[in-house]
Structure 1
Amino acid sequence: MIEATELTKRYGDRTAVDGLSFTVRPGRVTGFLGPNGAGKSTTMRLVLGLDRPTGGRVTVAGRPYAELRAPLCTVGSLLDAGGVHGGRSAYQHLAALAASNGLPRRRVGDVLDLVGLPPATARKRAKGFSLGMGQRLGIAAALLGDPEVLLLDEPVNGLDTEGVRWIRDLMKSLAAQGRTVFLSSHLMSEMELTADHLIVIGKGRLLADTTVRDFIASHSRVHTRVRAPEAEKLRALLEAKGADVSLDPRGGWRVDGPDTAAIGDLARDHGLALHELAPAHSSLEEVYTALSQDAQEYTAHATTEVPR
């Protein structure tokens, strides 16, 4: 379990984390969301004792990180997969970590096999690794001590489709074993598939601490997905009734305003066939974007001109 109480971190006159309180519980995958500059990386560094809080406290398994007797056996972390000496092989890197933490050498082979790095690859120097291979090595290091708590920042970065599915299944299986899994990512579609619970922050402050389902339901706008052979004619009729009609990423129209019954009646009255008429909720990405909009530190503005 990870517990933060009024956690605060200031750098000069800038407050990166502002009175943040939350609990990451075992037995579920907890997603950690926030826009760039929200304080996610700082919070993770505070959890791992890499930064000292200005105020408040954070504990892992009931203790500050610095007081853990066997840190690697309690907490496994991945903050920067590139933080490996390029001249060492994957095997040497993990063997050194194992030796420094009193772990048996056999754990190196176990985790290399678990993350899908074969012996021939594990003997190569890390500087020749692709981004995806580096991520697998970083995850292997996080799992080396068989920890009860896992803290991972963008673990699917650089992974291919098979790798993304693998890390998703791994996170879920570790949580099912009763471990604490704390996962930060900007990939909302993947977070929606992986996480059970969400902690959302903006400008260093807590915005939400709830289940994924409740987060979407409480902030979602119900709309209707419609597909029809005479799509443009249907769109014109809907807009004439005051509906907001836009393209749905999955095909057809997204209709805000009238409910499914009203849309079905309108199509029937004008002799239009419907191939799909289904109520739908906003995705996690849509809900998160709307909620965190005011907490964005860096915002790009749409333009049709490229600066010269």
Structure 2
Amino acid sequence: MIEVHELTKRYGERTAVDRLSFAVRPGRVTGFLGPNGAGKSTTMRLVLGLDTPSGGSSWIGGRPYRSLPAPLCAVGSLLDAKGVHGGRSARAHLAGLAAANRLPRRRVDEVLELVGLDPATAGRRTRGFSLGMGQRLGIAAALLGDPEVLMLDEPVNGLDTDGIRWIRELMKSLAAEGRTVFLSSHLMSELELTVEQLIIIGRGRLLADTPMRDFIERHSQAGALVRSPEPERLREVLVAAGATVRPDARGGWLATGPSAAAIGELARANDLTLSELTPHRSSLEEVYTAMVASATEYRGRAEERGRAAGRRDTGEAGE
């Protein structure tokens, strides 16, 4: 289990993580979301003891990372797949980690097989690795100590379709064993298929800590995919009824606002023939994008009002 309480990190006048609190529980895959610069990577570095917090605390299995007697066996992490000596082979890199942590040499072969790096590839120097191969090696290193906690930053970066499917099933299987799996990614479609719990931050602050399905359902708008032999007249009718209408990649219109039943009634009332009317549920990407944009706009306006008030209090002239 990962626990974060009032965690704060400042760099001069800039606050990267601002009194952040959450818990990542075992037995499920938890996704960590936020726009670029939200503080995700900084938070992970703080939990792993790579940076010193300005305030607050973080715990893994009930104790700070730096006090873990065998860190690699307690938590496996991947923050930067390029953090490997390019002159060493994949096997030598893992063997060094195993020796330093008193792990049996056979464990190296086990994780190499698990991540799909064959003996020939494992014997090559890592400077010649593709991005996807580097990711597989980084995941192998994270799994080397057979840890109860996994923290992965953009684990699917550089993987092909088969690799993405593989990491998805691996994360689910590890969570099913009762492990704590915490991963960040910008690939929303993949997160929607993988994670059960979401932790979302913006500007270093917590925006949401919720089951993913609840998050999508709570923030989704009613809508439908609708097609007609008269697409332009259909669009005009939908817009006049207050619907937001945009083209769908599959053809037809994606209309949000009215329910599918209401759209059917509109079509009947306007003597429109429909060739398809399918209720539409918002995706994680749609809901997340709208939420983050709203939070950013709200905070931006609030901060501007605060600056304006400060200028008035100090007698500064506005622009």
Equivalence map 1:237-256=2 (5 Å): 237-256=237-256
Paired with 1:237 and 1:221, the residues of 2 have a C-alpha distance of: 19
Paired with 1:295 and 1:47, the residues of 2 have a C-alpha distance of: 25
Deviations 1:18-50 (A, max 9, x none): 100000000000000001111101100011000
Q: Is the 8 A contact 2:149 2:179 kept in 1?
A: yes
Q: Structure 2, unaligned stretches of length 5 or more?
A: 298-319
Q: Is the 8 A contact 2:21 2:206 kept in 1?
A: yes
Q: Is the 8 A contact 1:5 1:19 kept in 2?
A: yes
**In the alignment, what sits opposite 1:304?**
none
Equivalence map 1:178-217=2 (5 Å): 178-217=178-217
**Cα shift at 1:90:** 0.2
Q: Which amino acid aligns with 1:237?
A: V
Identity of aligned residues (%): 73
Q: Is the 8 A contact 1:244 1:257 kept in 2?
A: yes
CA RMSD of superposed structures (Å): 1.5
* 1:8 aligns to 2:14 (yes or no): no
Deviations 1:190-221 (A, max 9, x none): 11111000000000000000000111112221
**In the alignment, what sits opposite 1:229?**
229
Q: Which amino acid aligns with 1:149?
A: V
Which has the bigger relative contact order, CA under 8 A and spacing at least 6?
1
**In the alignment, what sits opposite 1:303?**
none
Paired with 2:21 and 2:260, the residues of 1 have a C-alpha distance of: 41
Paired with 1:60 and 1:85, the residues of 2 have a C-alpha distance of: 28
Paired with 2:131 and 2:4, the residues of 1 have a C-alpha distance of: 32
Paired with 2:201 and 2:98, the residues of 1 have a C-alpha distance of: 35
Deviations 1:52-96 (A, max 9, x none): 111110000111000001000000000000000000000000000
- Secondary structure at 2:238 match in 1: helix
**In the alignment, what sits opposite 2:311?**
none
**In the alignment, what sits opposite 1:157?**
157
Paired with 2:233 and 2:283, the residues of 1 have a C-alpha distance of: 27
Q: Is the 8 A contact 2:46 2:52 kept in 1?
A: yes
Q: Structure 1, unaligned stretches of length 5 or more?
A: 297-308
**In the alignment, what sits opposite 1:288?**
288
**Cα shift at 1:124:** 0.3
With 208-217 and 247-256 compared, the bigger mean Cα shift is at: 247-256
- Secondary structure at 1:168 match in 2: helix
- Number of residue equivalences: 297
Q: Is the 8 A contact 1:38 1:295 kept in 2?
A: no
**Cα shift at 1:243:** 2.7
Paired with 1:262 and 1:54, the residues of 2 have a C-alpha distance of: 54
Paired with 2:28 and 2:251, the residues of 1 have a C-alpha distance of: 33
Paired with 2:266 and 2:185, the residues of 1 have a C-alpha distance of: 42
Paired with 1:164 and 1:86, the residues of 2 have a C-alpha distance of: 24
**Cα shift at 1:242:** 3.4
- Secondary structure at 1:63 match in 2: coil
Paired with 2:76 and 2:99, the residues of 1 have a C-alpha distance of: 16
Deviations 1:216-258 (A, max 9, x none): 1122212122122322222122223333221124432111233
Q: Which amino acid aligns with 1:295?
A: T
TM superposition score normalised by structure 2: 0.90
- Secondary structure at 2:221 match in 1: coil
**Cα shift at 1:286:** 1.1
- Secondary structure at 2:80 match in 1: coil
* 1:80 aligns to 2:60 (yes or no): no
Q: Is the 8 A contact 1:31 1:183 kept in 2?
A: yes
**Cα shift at 1:166:** 0.4
